[in-house]
Amino acid sequence: MLLSSGGFAIYRGFLPIYKILIPRFGSMKSRAHRERILETWLHSKGFRRTGLDAGQLSASILNQCRTGGDFIRVVMGAVAQSQQAQRWAMYDPDNVLHVERVKREIPNALFVHIIRDGRDIALSLKKMGGFTPLPWDRDQTGSLVATALYWEWMVHQGRAHGRKFPADYIEIHFEDLIGNPHETLDKLGGFLDHDLDYDRIQRAGLGRLSETNSSFREEGAKEKINPLGRWKERMAHADVAAIEATVGECLQENGYELSLPAAERRPSLRHSWMRGIYPAFLGGKLWLKLHTPVGRLADMSALELEEEPVPMAESVRS
């Protein structure tokens, strides 16, 4: 929607500098680390989608970047300049984990936190394989509850970090974007100081506005009609009860009504145990990835790397 509104650089790539590249190769304060990050990213799909010259971009990254924020600013600034655009936006759900770091490294950054019903998220991520529960929680109900706990943890992380920058952080509900787009975009446009005209956005129809990436896209036209509340039709009563018993408080905190009476939402011993384990597991995993050599094991498959790196200019290498 933002990219379709006009004035934003059109970039639908992936810049996982905090999620993958820095954990894998180390701080960008080191030139050797910058070179390894650059060499890897230059043969990623994210770079290919920039349309930028590898030599010029390499010189800027090697000479100007000392932080992940510098990397984002240099790359996205170059993309915007190449398109004569005034602004840029970068999307990744994991950004909620790095709000404070981004704000420290890109002081004028604004954050839009899009929140969706955790029951729909659990159903979607389970179908996509977007979250892997612990081995003993991979049965039907266990995996849905674990994924809902992951949703809760991510929402809490984003809200906790965002509260530290109230003037530069806004929460938007996915359901409001779908069900009441004009009013929601007016609110978001005021926050961004940008004209988000819904009719113009629909006419431009970039990316997923015209081609869904839903995990249920095999539904075809039905998917376009109603992507909301799918859990009501597709989730078993026992699974709904388990999720609402486990993350019901977070659902209510974010404006989502629970569907079952309290008597049916009593957490089992297993789900109470999961509620205690998963936040610690997720927090510990993130800390190890960011602060220990465990980060060197970061999976790079999401980069969609070419077999051979794009060569940097010899003047840059020297």
Q: For the purposes of burial, counting CB atoms within 10 Å of the CB of 317, is it exposed (0-12), middle (13-18) or buried (19 or more)?
A: exposed
Write phi, then psi, for 111 (nearest 5 degrees). -125, 125
- Taking only the tens of pLDDT, the chain with its 318 residues reads 889 999 999 998 889 999 999 999 999 999 999 999 999 999 999 999 999 999 989 999 999 999 999 999 999 999 999 999 999 999 999 999 999 999 999 999 999 999 999 999 999 999 888 899 999 999 999 999 999 999 999 999 999 999 999 999 999 999 999 999 999 999 999 999 999 999 989 888 776 665 655 555 555 554 455 678 999 999 999 999 999 999 999 999 999 999 999 999 988 999 999 999 999 999 999 999 999 999 999 999 989 998 654 444 443 443
DSSP for 113-164, please give it: EEE--HHHHHHHHHHHT-S---GGG-SHHHHHHHHHHHHHHHHHHHHHHHTT
The domain limits of the chain are 3-317
- Residues 267, 152: Cα–Cα separation, whole Å: 16
**Number of Cβ atoms within 10 Å of the Cβ of 69:** 21
User: 150 and 158 in contact (C-beta within 8 Å)?
Assistant: no
Q: Which residues are 170's β-sheet partners?
A: 112
- What does pTM read for this prediction? 0.88
Residue 128: the pLDDT is 86
Residue 101: the pLDDT is 96
Helix axes of 31-41 and 54-64: crossing angle, nearest 10 degrees = 150
CATH ID of 3-317, from 2.60.40, 3.30.1360, 3.60.15, 3.40.50 = 3.40.50
